[in-house]
A and B are shown apart, each in its own frame.
Chain A
């Protein structure tokens, strides 16, 4: 803004005053109110009293607009609304002087509504609608900076991957629904034995899990999530830590009673989860951009939950649900804090900033609290989560040693990553950061992350409260039985504690080796295979196929379009004629003088159209054909149709006369035998059809209905008009919309052509 003239200053002022209104707090207040509204159900739900809401939607197909607030749904609703309130508040400050704040908030709100709907739905179709709602809104949010190529690419990538997964999920839900005979999720979950015994189970499982894996960024679909960091920080904090990416995990938990417990379930979820977990936590070490690093640790968190759900049983489910809460608190807090670091210092790359603790004490404290929970330190909530994870992996009935080892490695890497975000930017010698005077940002920015980080500590200190409010009802909803044992900070010495200590030791070593690991990974990166390149290859291939097809089909030659259309139409009619049972028409000529006159006008006009070398003559002669047809309508009493026909003919001639100026001059149209043959085939087909229709005897019941009811019921004597505007009013409404859209499209095409012509000169 070095050369900001008076005009720019004015614009900025209006933008500022526009963004500073109090309305920007409305979304946060709405979300906070929603949180409180959901909170009233905590008591009933924890006592097993589950509220339901069912409204009929498509009863013929057994589809309803059904919601059910069990423990899992309630926990998610509270997370979505609660974290939503903090993120909306944060966003209102983060984009305070940005005129796009309103559109951002609207998209965020739409996303939150979709997410709450998705998690509370009890009908597969309702769920799917909201599922797609989150896909579309997250596309808009990731592509928020749509002027940037990178953002557009990331948004499209996320849309294609999660959208494709959504289609697979839809198919899976349909198969499952038809197998169970109900689209209600609660009934599907009751029919788990039927589903698992069915030969269709592998199909259902694969389709549903594809939806979950794409949404929750499991290998090989994981790459879209780090790419989605192109979104603004509040969006990443909301979608890519606490809510949307957890939708896949949510669905796996939701369908645990229906689908889990088979070898296929375990053998898919555990290896994929474990592999993604290690892959993601290793690549987190490679990043220097703290936000990107957090994105990879998010992938790690999601795979940890996937793996735990794969292990199954009340222990692993309890671990997964606890870790879900742990992760939501610290990850959303850290994402928002990284935004604070960036606002305060001008960078979020830990190689560019250090020693900020003195200048930004508040930010440093918040990051420290959240990172300690992420590292799984005593007495934070993360520690409880980690203990439960080790407790369940050690007792897994599927390769417990390997799973535990994977969990230890991943947790140790998390420990190192916590050091990366909590120590690197804040300690060591201060150095010149991109902003001259780094400072803590304002209250609206720090309030949310502070609450989240504090929750990580409070939940660790008072585990029984969390257990009663959230964890126990969640486990009840997913595993179908109560929480085994209780959440506690101190379980006494035992295997989980020793494993925790081993994790700390390994994590500490890894942190010390951070720079070496980073250099090694950076060197190895170009040589390693990446699933993203599969995606790129697929998209390139798709583009090629599309290009070839359109070159073939859309060749720009009007005559060839018409020829193809006519041929296809003729083929359809002839097949129907030859395969049909209707009798062939007999010719029954009783023609009067006026008919002969019209016939002569039309035939003469046709001859002129075919023979003339002048366009103007040809168009006028076409008008003659139309007028002849209009006269036929008049004679047979269809006055309305005749008027329409006549007026349209007039307008067509006027349009053609204008457009003709643009057409190149040609010396007549050459005779092409092929075109004549095509025209002949279609013409004969249409004529034969019409004659056959006349021969079959028309069903006049509709005509009689309209004749009888037009005047008394619809209060109109002109049946044609009454049909148009009353009996079939919905059709007409659609048609008027088509006219309006066609007019807009024609306008756009013409104006674009004009601009191109101007620009080309």
Chain B
């Protein structure tokens, strides 16, 4: 695909969609969204770059190897689970160190804890997994095209 409009737009859209994906991930615990959806959205952003500017540009934009991202994500989910195991003795039990419960039942503080780490892991696994397959597929197809042209 060689469209000037798409190429230019993708440069602008990539950061926008990424910010949106992080926002979707962040609000996920209380409103629609979450790690899985955020990860899909982020993957779409890189798919857009890939279609508009080519595989190399997408790889550069992603910076890390998709497999590594997925692996780190898997590590985050495990760590999120272990956090609960160390804090309360139950694997995967939620730990919210920065949230305080007020006497009237409401709560205050930053929603950061083991569950968010776990969800971020899901985000990374989805992003890395989808991008990994996408890049590999494009790589194979592109090479085949080159071979045919040779």
Contact = CB atoms under 8 A, between A and B. Distances in A.
A751 B141 CA distance: 11
Contacts of B73: 736, 740
A722 B29 contact: yes
Nearest to A661: B141
Given A729-B81, A733-B78, A743-B66, A751 B136 contact: yes
Contacts of B78: 733
Contacts, number: 163
Given A640-B32, A658-B134, A732 B122 contact: yes
Given A726-B94, A742-B133, 10 more contacts: A643-B24, A712-B105, A718-B32, A721-B28, A726-B92, A729-B81, A736-B74, A740-B73, A740-B74, A757-B144
A654 interface: yes
Given A732-B122, A736-B73, A747 B115 contact: no
B22 interface: no
Contacts of B74: 736-737, 740
Given A659-B141, A740-B70, A725 B40 contact: no
A739 B129 CA distance: 6
A655 interface: yes
A748 to B, nearest CB: 9
B144 A651 contact: no
A644 B32 CA distance: 10
A658 B107 CA distance: 48
**Chain B interface extent, by class:** 35 or more
A23 interface: no
A747 B118 contact: no
B139 to A, nearest CB: 7
A725 B92 CA distance: 9
Contacts of B71: 740
Contacts of B129: 739-740, 742-743
Contacts of B41: 647
Interface in B47-96: 47, 51, 66-67, 70-71, 73-74, 77-78, 80-81, 91-92, 94, 96
B70 A729 contact: no
A737 B92 CA distance: 15
B139 A644 contact: no
Contacts of B66: 743
Contacts of B34: 640, 718, 720-721, 724-725
Contacts of A544: none
A744 B37 contact: no
A651 B130 contact: yes
7 contacts: A643-B24, A654-B47, A659-B137, A715-B96, A729-B81, A751-B136, A757-B144
B29 A716 contact: yes
A715 B47 CA distance: 34
A751 B144 CA distance: 12
Contact of B70 (A647, A662, A739, A758): A739
Given A640-B32, A644-B36, A651-B44, A715 B133 contact: no
Given A726-B94, A736-B73, A743-B70, A647 B33 contact: no
Contacts of A733: 77-78, 81, 92, 118
A754 interface: yes
A396 to B, nearest CB: 58
7 cross-chain pairs, A with B, having the tightest CB-CB distances, nearest first: A743-B129, A639-B32, A647-B40, A717-B30, A716-B29, A721-B34, A729-B92
Q: Looking at chain B's contact residues, is the secondary structure mostly helix, strand, loop, or mixed?
A: helix
Contact of A754 (B32, B47, B91, B139): B139
A747 B94 contact: no
A723 to B, nearest CB: 10
B33 A718 contact: yes
Contacts of B28: 718, 721
A704 interface: no
Contact of A640 (B37, B44, B107): B37
Interface in A394-446: none
A725 B133 contact: no
Contacts of B115: 714-716, 725-726, 729
Contacts of A739: 70, 125-126, 129
B9 interface: no
A650 interface: yes
Nearest to A721: B34
B132 A743 contact: yes
A747 B144 CA distance: 16
A648 interface: yes
A718 B107 CA distance: 16
A675 B130 CA distance: 31
Contact of B119 (A650, A725, A751): A725
